[in-house]
Amino acid sequence: MKKNNNLFIILLGIILLASCEKPEGALYSGESNKVGFLGSSINLPMSSESLKVPIGRTSTEGDFSVSVDLSAAGTGYTNVFKAGQAQFPAGSGKTYVEVTYSNLASIDPSTLSVSASGMDVNVGLAYPFTLSVADDVASPAAKKKINVLAANTLEFESAGTAVLDSRAGWWGGETEDDFLTPEIHKAKGVNVYKLISPFYFNNFAFMIKSDNTIICPNQIIYDFGSSGYGPVTMGTVKGTYYPTEKKVILQVGAYTVAAGSFGGGTEIIYLP
């Protein structure tokens, strides 16, 4: 079995590197038209309207197609991500399973990734799911399923002006006259928002999940400079969105600097 596994991987790897102008050869000279994935996992960028996952078969004879099942732990994922059949043309031992997706705003990603880029932040989402083929068509020397992590980098566009009540948060203040009015951007297709320099320094991002809870990773929101405390991180944030008021409440665990913490606070954001 180990020998067959190694042979399958080596030969399918050769197929994937072969020129597209050359007919694709079979995986190995075993039982006719059995299929399998190259590996147990793959990471794919969501740079177009579909994802393509390579799959091979043990023969190149005739046209051949096989159904591919898509499963996921995330609620609603199978309504958003749809796997097509693996369709092999005659003479080819390799093809791709095409996975289409739409309406990403209706599901929650597994994570919200945020990385600093100067005063801005790069924001991305990741969606895990699994593709598999039935036992009766799976090659005994191949992978019958593959874990796919689809990830994207979000594009933002202006959504107007937000109102930020930071009286019990980082900025402080006494009355509504002390409210801040930063520009706010929204990601295309999903409920992820970015406040633009809310405290006159760094942008920060957050996501409203389908259950109206908030994901807000630790992010730098201010900087005292090298002669002071340095960067300030808003961390351990929990939050809730109240749609009737268009109000986001962020409960901040701590505003921290290298020397220690300023304690926690509350940031209230009113969406436009």
pLDDT value, residue 258: 85
Higher pLDDT, 140 or 130: 130
pLDDT value, residue 229: 85
The pLDDT tens digits of the residues spanning 167-205 come to 999 999 999 999 999 999 999 989 999 999 999 999 999
User: CB neighbours (10 Å) of residue 109?
Assistant: 22
pLDDT value, residue 16: 39
> Residue 23 gets which letter from DSSP?
P
For the chain, give the percent of residues with pLDDT over 90. 68
pLDDT above 50: residue 21: no
72 CB-near residues (< 8 Å, 6+ apart): 78, 81, 127, 128, 129, 130
User: CB neighbours (10 Å) of residue 271?
Assistant: 18
pTM score, two decimals? 0.69
pLDDT above 80: residue 15: no
Cα–Cα distance for residue pair 44/149, rounded to 1 Å: 6
